[in-house]
Each structure stands twice: as C-alpha cells, then as structure tokens.
Amino acid sequence: MTILTDRYVWAAARTVPEHQRTELDRELRERIGDATDAQVEAGLAPAEAERAALTELGDPAAVAAQYIDRPLQLIGPKYYLTWLRLLKLLLAIVLPCAAVGVAIAQAIAGENVGGIFGAVIAVVISAGVHVAFWTTLVFAILERTPAPAGRRGVDMPWTLDMLPALPEPAKASRLAEFITSVVFLVVFAVVLVLQQFGLPWVDDLQSVPLLAPDLWSFWLPYFIALIGAEILFAVGLYLWGWNWWLAGANLVLNVAFTVPALWLFLTGQLINPAALEAMRWPWGDAGQIIVAIVVVVVVAASAWDVVDGAIKAFRAQRTIESATSDRGIREDLRSAR
C-alpha cells in the first residue's frame, strides 16, 4: 500500500461515521489492491496501475456516500414536489405581505417615493432569500432523516382535490364576474354623483359633499367617464376572456384612474375642505398614518390588478395554444384515418 492509496482511503473514510470506518477502510484496500494487481498483470508499472485503479474508483466522497446510503442530492424525488409547492405558497403569501407592510411603515415614516421603493425591493429580496433558504434547509434535513421503520416519513400524498381549476373559465361562468364588476362600477358612479348632497350614513357629513365641489369642472366628470370605460372593458372581458389587448387596456385604465386620484388626494384637492372641517381632520398624529396607508393600499391594489390581468392573459394564451395544438393533432389523426 502506498501513500496515494492511504490518502484515498482516508478521504473516503473520514466522511462516514466512526463505527463504519474500519470496515470501509478494509473493503476499499481489498478492492484497490485487487484492481491494482489486475492492472499490473495487464502490463502496467505498479505506480501507474495504482493510479489507474484509483481513478476508476472515482471520487472518494461519492464512494463513501454510496457505502452508507447517504443521499447525493439536496432534496430527492420523495420530497421535491412537496418542497416546491410549499415554497411557491410561502413566497406568494409572505412577499406581498412584506412589501405592503414595509411600504406602509416607510410612508408613515415620511420617506419619499424612491426611498419607499428601495426599502420594498430590499425587503422583498431578503424575505425571499430567507423563505427559500429556511424551507430548503428543513427539507434537506428531512431528506437525511431516516423514516421510522415501515413509514414513509413526512409525506403529503397527492389527492384528486389538489387538481388545479381550469385556467380559463367558460363564457357562462364569466357571466358572474361580469355582473359583479358592472354592479360595482354602477354603484361607484352613483356614489360619486350623489356624494355632492352629503353622505347620509356618516353623521358629520349628512349635508356636506365629501369631494371638493371644484372638481365638477373637470375631474369628477373625468372619473365618471373612466367608469364608463371600465364598464366597456368589463363587456370586452366577458365577450373575449383575458388576452394581451385587454391586459394592456387594464393597465391604461388603472394608471388613468390611480395617478390623478392620488395626485389630487396628496395635493389636498380631492377632499372637500368643509368635509375635512366637519370631520375635525387631522385626527392628531393619526392623520399622516391614515394618508400613508390609503396611498400604499391604493397603489398596491391597482398594481396587483394589473399583474393579475397580465397573469390571466398569459394563462389564457397558453390554454388557447395547447387547445389549438390538440385540435391540430386530432385533425391529423382524423385525416390519417
């Protein structure tokens, strides 16, 4: 036995538990010795023969891992799908919550828009890394924990209930969505018009308009026209389902609504000064916090609406592509017959 063999055996044996080391050591020496002898018989010099035998044996860490049945993957097929589903779910829940929470906190602290964006991006990245790392770590440990005899370990068997819903509902089931959005939009428009006579359900505002009456010269008609456009959009959505044109229109409508509304709100032109007085605004320190929360929630809601539209358009497009290729295959089959 030479230094090279000793180094190889040590490299393999040091990674296995103490009580298995002697056995692995002996087995490897037997195997290396026999393989070297065979190479010498085939005509190689002893030193070369040993090198050839060790090279054929391969990475000592892999040999040792095989010896003690240590998995050579971080997460194996038993846990991979569970890990993937859990990770997606956690990211989908944690990241939006973290983003909105941080945005509200920064807005209350009086950060400017750039500062808020910077903080949100930094927190979303670090939260994402944390969620991914700790989830993966738990599953990597599970992968290396032997299950009790006769059990499969922690396991989430797949059931029929886990089948996802079909991505694009048929036109009939889009009707419910259509009716909901039209009813909501009409109610919204009616409230916009009627608020000039006061809000009867708020004690302080029974005869005071909530929104500044000056806005009737341009902005309120503009918003009401926009609601009309939203109704047309809902009709288009009902007729054609989501596509990229409608997703684009959704983006335009959201920007056209959110940007002027926020601008008016933040510059103090939106709310009627008389109404503010009647409500005894600002309510101490709460004023700034409420403004910050309103702004963040409005921005997050319209950003989500735009993203949601894009996701639905993407899925619908994919469904159409697979449906047409299915149809293509079926027609091919028919013509072949």
Partner 1 sequence: MNPDETTVAHLQELRRGTVVLACLVRLRTPDYGYALLESLNGLGILVDANTLYPLLRRLEKQGLLTSEWNTDEARPRKFYRTSPTGDALAVALMTDWRRIDDALGGLTTGDES
Contacts to partner 1 by CB under 8 A: 26-27, 29-31, 33-35, 38, 56-58, 66-67
For partner 1, which is the closer residue by CB, 27 or 143?
A: 27
For partner 1, which is the closer residue by CB, 66 or 112?
A: 66
Q: What is the CA radius of gyration of the chain?
A: 33
Find the shortest distance in angstroms from Cβ 144 to partner 1.
18
For partner 1, which is the closer residue by CB, 22 or 173?
A: 22
Find the shortest distance in angstroms from Cβ 14 to partner 1.
19
For partner 1, which is the closer residue by CB, 23 or 326?
A: 23
Find the shortest distance in angstroms from Cβ 23 to partner 1.
9
For partner 1, which is the closer residue by CB, 58 or 268?
A: 58
Instruction: Report the C-alpha gap between 33 and 5 in whole angstroms.
Output: 9
Longest Cα–Cα distance in the chain:
108
Q: Is 211 helix (H, G, I), strand (E, B) or coil?
A: strand
Tokens of 89: 């779910």
Q: Which residues pair with 271 in a beta bridge?
A: 211
Find the shortest distance in angstroms from Cβ 304 to partner 1.
45
Query: DSSP alpha helices (H): ranges in the chain?
Result: 3-13, 18-41, 46-57, 60-67, 77-108, 113-143, 171-194, 219-240, 244-266, 273-278, 286-336
Instruction: Report the C-alpha gap between 103 and 295 in whole angstroms.
Output: 10
Find the shortest distance in angstroms from Cβ 34 to partner 1.
4
